[in-house]
Amino acid sequence: MKVRKAVIPAAGYGTRFLPATKSQPKEMLPIIDKPTIQWIVEEAVESGIEEILIITNHQKSSIENHFDRSLELEYFLESKNKYEDLELVRSISNLANIYSVRQKEQKGLGHAILCAKTFIGNEPFAILLGDDIVVNQKVPAIKQLCQVFNEVNSSVVGVQEVPKTDVSKYGIVKPINNINKSKRFSEIVDMIEKPSLAEAPSRLAVLGRYVLTPEIFPLLETQTPGSGGEIQLTDAIRRLLDTQKVYAYNFEGHRYDVGNKLGYLEATVDFALAREDLKDEFMELLKKKVNISVRETIK
Ligand code: G1P
Protein backbone atom coordinates (compact mmCIF):
# COMPACT_ATOMS: atom_id res chain seq x y z
CA MET A 1 0.00 0.00 0.00
CA LYS A 2 1.40 3.39 -1.00
CA VAL A 3 2.44 5.71 1.82
CA ARG A 4 0.34 8.82 1.15
CA LYS A 5 0.19 10.55 4.49
CA ALA A 6 2.78 12.05 6.79
CA VAL A 7 2.80 13.43 10.30
CA ILE A 8 5.15 16.18 11.43
CA PRO A 9 5.12 16.71 15.19
CA ALA A 10 5.77 20.37 16.01
CA ALA A 11 4.25 20.92 19.43
CA GLY A 12 7.36 21.03 21.62
CA TYR A 13 8.49 24.11 23.52
CA GLY A 14 11.89 24.39 21.86
CA THR A 15 13.58 25.27 25.13
CA ARG A 16 17.05 24.75 23.63
CA PHE A 17 16.51 27.88 21.54
CA LEU A 18 15.22 30.22 24.21
CA PRO A 19 14.78 33.16 24.17
CA ALA A 20 14.17 32.97 20.38
CA THR A 21 11.39 30.44 20.97
CA LYS A 22 9.64 32.28 23.78
CA SER A 23 6.90 33.51 21.50
CA GLN A 24 7.66 31.86 18.15
CA PRO A 25 7.78 28.17 17.25
CA LYS A 26 11.25 26.70 16.88
CA GLU A 27 10.02 25.13 13.63
CA MET A 28 9.76 28.64 12.18
CA LEU A 29 13.43 29.47 12.84
CA PRO A 30 14.94 29.83 9.38
CA ILE A 31 17.91 28.08 7.84
CA ILE A 32 18.96 31.20 5.92
CA ASP A 33 15.54 32.30 4.65
CA LYS A 34 13.37 29.19 4.84
CA PRO A 35 11.75 27.98 8.08
CA THR A 36 13.06 24.58 9.19
CA ILE A 37 9.59 23.07 8.94
CA GLN A 38 9.36 24.05 5.27
CA TRP A 39 12.51 22.00 4.54
CA ILE A 40 10.75 19.05 6.20
CA VAL A 41 7.47 19.57 4.32
CA GLU A 42 9.40 19.80 1.03
CA GLU A 43 11.13 16.50 1.76
CA ALA A 44 7.74 14.86 2.29
CA VAL A 45 6.31 16.37 -0.89
CA GLU A 46 9.36 15.34 -2.97
CA SER A 47 8.85 11.82 -1.60
CA GLY A 48 5.33 11.54 -3.01
CA ILE A 49 3.43 12.28 0.21
CA GLU A 50 0.05 13.83 -0.61
CA GLU A 51 -1.39 14.80 2.76
CA ILE A 52 0.51 16.18 5.73
CA LEU A 53 -0.68 16.63 9.28
CA ILE A 54 1.31 18.97 11.50
CA ILE A 55 0.84 18.47 15.24
CA THR A 56 0.90 21.93 16.80
CA ASN A 57 -0.22 23.67 19.98
CA HIS A 58 -2.01 26.92 20.75
CA GLN A 59 1.20 28.96 20.37
CA LYS A 60 2.03 27.71 16.91
CA SER A 61 -0.48 29.41 14.64
CA SER A 62 2.37 30.99 12.66
CA ILE A 63 3.12 27.50 11.30
CA GLU A 64 -0.46 27.16 10.06
CA ASN A 65 -0.30 30.68 8.60
CA HIS A 66 2.98 29.93 6.83
CA PHE A 67 1.41 27.15 4.76
CA ASP A 68 -1.79 29.10 4.12
CA ARG A 69 -2.27 31.83 1.52
CA SER A 70 -1.43 35.37 2.50
CA LEU A 71 -3.68 37.46 0.27
CA GLU A 72 -2.54 40.81 1.66
CA LEU A 73 1.10 40.02 1.08
CA GLU A 74 0.33 38.66 -2.40
CA TYR A 75 -1.59 41.83 -3.26
CA PHE A 76 1.26 43.98 -1.98
CA LEU A 77 3.92 42.10 -3.97
CA GLU A 78 1.79 42.23 -7.11
CA SER A 79 1.23 45.97 -6.75
CA LYS A 80 5.03 46.45 -6.54
CA ASN A 81 5.64 44.17 -9.55
CA LYS A 82 7.65 41.78 -7.38
CA TYR A 83 6.60 38.73 -9.35
CA GLU A 84 9.40 36.43 -8.25
CA ASP A 85 8.58 36.96 -4.58
CA LEU A 86 4.89 36.60 -5.38
CA GLU A 87 5.53 33.23 -6.99
CA LEU A 88 7.65 32.16 -4.01
CA VAL A 89 4.95 33.10 -1.50
CA ARG A 90 2.18 31.43 -3.50
CA SER A 91 4.13 28.23 -4.07
CA ILE A 92 4.32 27.58 -0.30
CA SER A 93 0.56 27.37 0.03
CA ASN A 94 0.42 25.04 -2.99
CA LEU A 95 3.02 22.59 -1.69
CA ALA A 96 0.60 19.89 -0.50
CA ASN A 97 -2.62 19.42 1.43
CA ILE A 98 -1.49 20.50 4.85
CA TYR A 99 -3.64 20.09 7.94
CA SER A 100 -3.00 20.70 11.59
CA VAL A 101 -4.26 19.41 14.88
CA ARG A 102 -3.39 20.66 18.34
CA GLN A 103 -1.79 18.53 21.00
CA LYS A 104 -3.47 19.83 24.12
CA GLU A 105 -0.84 18.70 26.63
CA GLN A 106 2.87 18.11 26.07
CA LYS A 107 3.02 14.46 27.07
CA GLY A 108 5.76 13.32 24.70
CA LEU A 109 6.37 12.27 21.11
CA GLY A 110 4.21 9.15 21.35
CA HIS A 111 1.31 11.22 22.61
CA ALA A 112 1.82 13.75 19.78
CA ILE A 113 1.67 10.97 17.17
CA LEU A 114 -1.50 9.61 18.78
CA CYS A 115 -3.15 12.95 17.92
CA ALA A 116 -2.90 11.86 14.24
CA LYS A 117 -4.98 8.70 14.72
CA THR A 118 -8.20 9.92 13.06
CA PHE A 119 -6.33 11.64 10.23
CA ILE A 120 -4.32 8.53 9.39
CA GLY A 121 -7.13 5.99 9.66
CA ASN A 122 -6.15 2.51 8.57
CA GLU A 123 -3.12 3.05 6.33
CA PRO A 124 0.66 3.15 6.71
CA PHE A 125 2.09 6.61 7.28
CA ALA A 126 5.36 8.50 7.49
CA ILE A 127 6.68 10.52 10.41
CA LEU A 128 9.27 13.27 9.96
CA LEU A 129 10.69 14.97 13.04
CA GLY A 130 11.38 18.67 12.66
CA ASP A 131 14.73 18.63 14.45
CA ASP A 132 16.26 16.37 11.83
CA ILE A 133 16.92 17.84 8.41
CA VAL A 134 18.36 15.27 6.02
CA VAL A 135 19.99 16.25 2.75
CA ASN A 136 20.13 13.78 -0.11
CA GLN A 137 20.03 15.31 -3.58
CA LYS A 138 19.00 12.04 -5.25
CA VAL A 139 16.42 10.32 -3.04
CA PRO A 140 14.98 12.15 -0.01
CA ALA A 141 15.33 10.21 3.25
CA ILE A 142 11.63 9.53 3.79
CA LYS A 143 11.29 8.33 0.19
CA GLN A 144 14.09 5.82 0.87
CA LEU A 145 12.09 4.54 3.87
CA CYS A 146 8.88 4.36 1.79
CA GLN A 147 10.75 2.26 -0.79
CA VAL A 148 11.89 -0.16 1.92
CA PHE A 149 8.34 -0.24 3.32
CA ASN A 150 7.06 -1.27 -0.13
CA GLU A 151 9.58 -4.08 -0.17
CA VAL A 152 9.05 -5.47 3.35
CA ASN A 153 5.44 -4.39 3.99
CA SER A 154 6.24 -3.68 7.63
CA SER A 155 7.19 -0.67 9.72
CA VAL A 156 10.60 0.89 9.03
CA VAL A 157 12.63 3.24 11.23
CA GLY A 158 15.43 5.32 9.71
CA VAL A 159 18.76 4.95 11.50
CA GLN A 160 22.35 6.08 11.26
CA GLU A 161 25.34 5.24 13.41
CA VAL A 162 26.16 7.81 16.09
CA PRO A 163 29.26 8.17 18.28
CA LYS A 164 29.22 6.30 21.62
CA THR A 165 28.94 9.59 23.45
CA ASP A 166 25.62 10.31 21.72
CA VAL A 167 23.67 7.05 22.18
CA SER A 168 21.92 8.38 25.29
CA LYS A 169 20.28 11.15 23.21
CA TYR A 170 18.34 8.82 20.89
CA GLY A 171 16.17 5.78 20.39
CA ILE A 172 18.67 2.95 19.76
CA VAL A 173 17.80 -0.23 17.85
CA LYS A 174 19.03 -3.81 18.12
CA PRO A 175 19.13 -5.32 14.62
CA ILE A 176 19.07 -9.10 14.07
CA ASN A 177 21.84 -8.84 11.51
CA ASN A 178 24.56 -6.32 10.91
CA ILE A 179 23.37 -3.57 8.62
CA ASN A 180 26.06 -3.61 5.98
CA LYS A 181 26.62 -1.37 3.00
CA SER A 182 24.99 -3.51 0.33
CA LYS A 183 21.87 -4.42 2.30
CA ARG A 184 21.06 -1.29 4.21
CA PHE A 185 18.26 -2.71 6.34
CA SER A 186 17.65 -5.41 8.91
CA GLU A 187 14.77 -6.60 11.05
CA ILE A 188 15.09 -5.37 14.61
CA VAL A 189 14.50 -7.31 17.82
CA ASP A 190 14.58 -4.46 20.31
CA MET A 191 14.60 -0.72 20.60
CA ILE A 192 15.41 1.44 23.66
CA GLU A 193 14.74 5.12 24.19
CA LYS A 194 17.77 7.09 25.37
CA PRO A 195 19.75 4.20 26.86
CA SER A 196 22.95 4.59 28.83
CA LEU A 197 26.04 3.46 26.92
CA ALA A 198 26.05 0.23 28.94
CA GLU A 199 22.41 -0.53 28.04
CA ALA A 200 22.66 0.48 24.37
CA PRO A 201 22.27 -2.58 22.11
CA SER A 202 24.12 -0.84 19.21
CA ARG A 203 25.14 2.59 18.04
CA LEU A 204 22.32 2.75 15.48
CA ALA A 205 20.12 5.69 16.40
CA VAL A 206 16.66 6.50 15.07
CA LEU A 207 17.13 9.88 13.44
CA GLY A 208 13.71 11.37 12.93
CA ARG A 209 12.28 9.32 10.05
CA TYR A 210 9.72 6.51 10.39
CA VAL A 211 7.16 4.67 8.25
CA LEU A 212 4.70 2.91 10.53
CA THR A 213 1.65 0.72 10.19
CA PRO A 214 -1.58 1.99 11.82
CA GLU A 215 -1.37 -0.80 14.42
CA ILE A 216 0.85 1.60 16.35
CA PHE A 217 -2.20 3.65 17.48
CA PRO A 218 -3.84 1.18 19.92
CA LEU A 219 -0.39 0.70 21.43
CA LEU A 220 0.09 4.45 21.83
CA GLU A 221 -3.32 4.65 23.49
CA THR A 222 -2.23 2.28 26.22
CA GLN A 223 1.41 3.37 26.41
CA THR A 224 2.61 4.29 29.90
CA PRO A 225 5.19 7.08 30.34
CA GLY A 226 8.82 6.07 29.85
CA SER A 227 12.08 8.00 29.53
CA GLY A 228 11.73 11.55 30.87
CA GLY A 229 8.24 10.74 32.20
CA GLU A 230 6.91 11.06 28.61
CA ILE A 231 4.85 8.77 26.40
CA GLN A 232 7.55 7.58 24.05
CA LEU A 233 7.03 6.49 20.45
CA THR A 234 10.02 4.17 20.84
CA ASP A 235 8.28 2.25 23.65
CA ALA A 236 5.16 1.71 21.52
CA ILE A 237 7.26 0.54 18.54
CA ARG A 238 9.00 -1.87 20.91
CA ARG A 239 5.59 -3.36 21.78
CA LEU A 240 4.68 -3.48 18.07
CA LEU A 241 7.56 -5.97 17.74
CA ASP A 242 5.42 -8.54 19.61
CA THR A 243 2.98 -8.76 16.70
CA GLN A 244 4.73 -7.39 13.60
CA LYS A 245 8.16 -7.15 12.10
CA VAL A 246 9.89 -3.78 12.30
CA TYR A 247 12.95 -2.95 10.22
CA ALA A 248 15.78 -0.49 10.71
CA TYR A 249 17.00 1.13 7.53
CA ASN A 250 20.32 2.93 7.38
CA PHE A 251 19.24 5.88 5.24
CA GLU A 252 21.64 7.75 2.97
CA GLY A 253 22.09 11.46 3.42
CA HIS A 254 23.68 14.05 5.65
CA ARG A 255 21.58 14.63 8.73
CA TYR A 256 21.63 17.93 10.59
CA ASP A 257 20.35 18.11 14.15
CA VAL A 258 18.82 21.56 13.87
CA GLY A 259 17.32 21.24 17.35
CA ASN A 260 20.85 21.75 18.62
CA LYS A 261 22.71 25.06 18.28
CA LEU A 262 25.84 23.65 16.65
CA GLY A 263 23.81 21.48 14.26
CA TYR A 264 21.73 24.52 13.37
CA LEU A 265 24.88 26.55 12.65
CA GLU A 266 26.35 23.70 10.58
CA ALA A 267 23.18 23.51 8.49
CA THR A 268 23.20 27.28 7.99
CA VAL A 269 26.82 27.27 6.80
CA ASP A 270 26.41 24.25 4.50
CA PHE A 271 23.13 25.48 3.01
CA ALA A 272 24.64 28.92 2.37
CA LEU A 273 27.65 27.35 0.66
CA ALA A 274 25.27 25.38 -1.56
CA ARG A 275 23.38 28.49 -2.70
CA GLU A 276 24.44 30.00 -6.02
CA ASP A 277 23.45 33.49 -4.92
CA LEU A 278 25.44 33.33 -1.67
CA LYS A 279 28.27 30.84 -1.88
CA ASP A 280 31.11 32.98 -3.30
CA GLU A 281 30.71 35.96 -1.01
CA PHE A 282 29.93 33.76 1.96
CA MET A 283 33.05 31.65 1.37
CA GLU A 284 35.17 34.84 1.27
CA LEU A 285 33.59 35.94 4.52
CA LEU A 286 34.25 32.57 6.18
CA LYS A 287 37.88 32.58 5.01
CA LYS A 288 38.39 36.05 6.48
CA LYS A 289 36.85 35.01 9.80
CA VAL A 290 38.91 31.81 9.98
CA ASN A 291 42.14 33.69 9.16
CA ILE A 292 41.41 36.26 11.83
CA SER A 293 40.78 33.61 14.47
CA VAL A 294 43.90 31.63 13.44
CA ARG A 295 45.99 34.84 13.74
CA GLU A 296 44.47 35.55 17.15
CA THR A 297 45.24 32.04 18.40
CA ILE A 298 48.89 32.36 17.26
CA LYS A 299 49.37 35.68 19.06
C1 G1P B 1 13.11 11.80 19.60
C2 G1P B 1 12.83 10.30 19.75
C3 G1P B 1 14.13 9.51 19.67
C4 G1P B 1 14.85 9.85 18.37
C5 G1P B 1 15.08 11.36 18.26
C6 G1P B 1 15.66 11.72 16.90
O7 G1P B 1 13.82 12.24 20.74
O8 G1P B 1 12.17 10.08 20.98
O9 G1P B 1 13.87 8.13 19.74
O10 G1P B 1 16.08 9.14 18.31
O11 G1P B 1 13.86 12.08 18.43
O12 G1P B 1 15.95 13.07 16.77
P13 G1P B 1 13.91 13.81 21.15
O14 G1P B 1 15.05 14.36 20.35
O15 G1P B 1 12.61 14.43 20.81
O16 G1P B 1 14.20 13.81 22.61
CATH number of the domain within which 106 lies = 3.90.550.10
Q: What is the pLDDT of residue 293?
A: 75
Residue 141: its pLDDT value, please?
Answer: 97
Band the pLDDT of 297: cuts 50, 70, 90: confident
State the pLDDT at residue 295. Answer: 75
What residues make up the domain containing 284? Answer: 260-299
With cut-offs at 50, 70 and 90, classify the pLDDT of residue 14.
confident
Same domain assignment for residues 161 and 198: yes
Cα of 52 to ligand 1 centre, how many Å? 20
Residue 91 has pLDDT above 70, yes or no: yes
* pLDDT computed for residue 299 by the predictor: 67
Please state, in angstroms and rounded to a whole number, the distance separating the CA atoms of residues 38 and 172. 27
pLDDT at 134 over 90: yes
Assess whether 178 and 289 both reside in one domain: no
Distance CA 172, CA 175 (A): 10
Asked if residue 271 and residue 228 are part of one domain, the reply reads: no
CA 205 / ligand 1 centre spacing (Å): 9
Which of 37-41, 55-59, 230-234 is least confident? Answer: 55-59
143 plus 71 within the same structural domain? yes
- Asked if 176 and 186 touch (Cβ cutoff 8 Å), the reply is yes
Q: Calculate mean pLDDT across residues 222-244.
A: 97
Number of domains present in the structure of the chain = 2
Establish whether residue 160 lines the binding site of ligand 1, counting it when its CB lies within 6 angstroms of any ligand atom: no
230 and 197 assigned to the same domain: yes
Are 174 and 161 members of one domain?
yes
9 close to ligand 1 (CB < 6 Angstrom): no
Question: Does residue 203 carry a pLDDT above 90?
Answer: yes
193 and 272 part of one domain: no
pLDDT tier at 233 (50, 70, 90 boundaries)? very high
